[in-house]
Amino acid sequence: MIRKEGEEIVIPTAVIKRLPKYHRHLSKLIRKGVEKISSKDFGQIVGVSAPQLRQDLNHFGNFGQQGYGYNIEKLYNELSKVMGIEKKSNMVLVGVGNLGQALINSTDFKRRGFYLSAAFDINPRLVGMMINGIKVRDIETIENYIRENDINIAIITVPEEAAQKLADRMIDAGVKGIWNFAPVDLKVPKGVSVENEHLTEGLLRLSFKVKDDKK
């Protein structure tokens, strides 16, 4: 649900799913120095029809002007607001295995306003290590860290059996969003959001699509 000038409006999930893609392409256009774009051209870039694009964006206000198109920077700023990324998010990561370390080493988050400030693990050999400027801390200190550092998002890269219990602990400490890479569908209470990234499911979908071409 998104509030707009005191009024509550419901944005369809399908639209919300498309917003990050629109946002990413707008960011690219800004970097290229493009100032405006028609719904037809932008639709082509993002792979949706012009009417669909206009319908999607109309949920958030009247950005397009007849005969002018969209002001790219204005639209980018508005979508940033809609997605809540004009405000910075503080994140922690739990589980500093191969995947956890790859995410810690990714530089893309900061550019988008997501600050990873600490990582946590149960393995004493990892605790105390610095990875890409991020300190690995003892998992037993995570609740305090979340409370004291205004953490609102947690990234989970622990094995399946540890994920739900850790999610519950972090939610009790104040986390509002979980980006979950553990192969389990986490249960979260109302008011908390979870995005499950089941990486091998993507590979299985791909396998299904290429199965007839396999030797």
Verify binding: residue 97, ligand ATP, rule CB under 6 A. Answer: yes
Identified binder of ligand ATP from the candidate list 19, 157, 170, 179, rule CB under 6 A: 157
Identified binder of ligand ATP from the candidate list 121, 155, 156, 179, rule CB under 6 A: 121
What's the closest the beta carbon of residue 181 comes to ligand ATP, in angstroms? 8
What's the closest the beta carbon of residue 182 comes to ligand ATP, in angstroms? 8
Identified binder of ligand ATP from the candidate list 15, 45, 83, 122, rule CB under 6 A: 122
Q: What is the per-residue DSSP string for 26-39?
A: HHHHHHHT--EE-H
Residue with tokens 């995005």: 195
Give the CA radius of gyration of the chain. 20
**Residue 136: partners with Cβ closer than 8 Å, 6 or more residues away:** 96, 118, 119, 120, 121, 126, 127, 128, 129, 130
Strands (E), 43-125: 70-71, 89-94, 114-121
What's the closest the beta carbon of residue 102 comes to ligand ATP, in angstroms? 8
Q: What is the dihedral of CA 166, 169, 175, 177, to 10 degrees?
A: 40
Verify binding: residue 127, ligand ATP, rule CB under 6 A. Answer: no
The stretch near ligand ATP (CB under 6 A) out of 29-37, 73-81, 89-97, 111-119 is 89-97
Angstrom distance (rounded) from CA 215 to CA 213? 6
Q: Is 98 annotated as a binding residue?
A: yes
What's the closest the beta carbon of residue 184 comes to ligand ATP, in angstroms? 12
Residues forming contacts to ligand ATP in the complex (CB under 6 A) are 94-100, 120-123, 126, 139, 157-159, 162, 166
Annotated binding-site ranges for NAD(+): 95-100
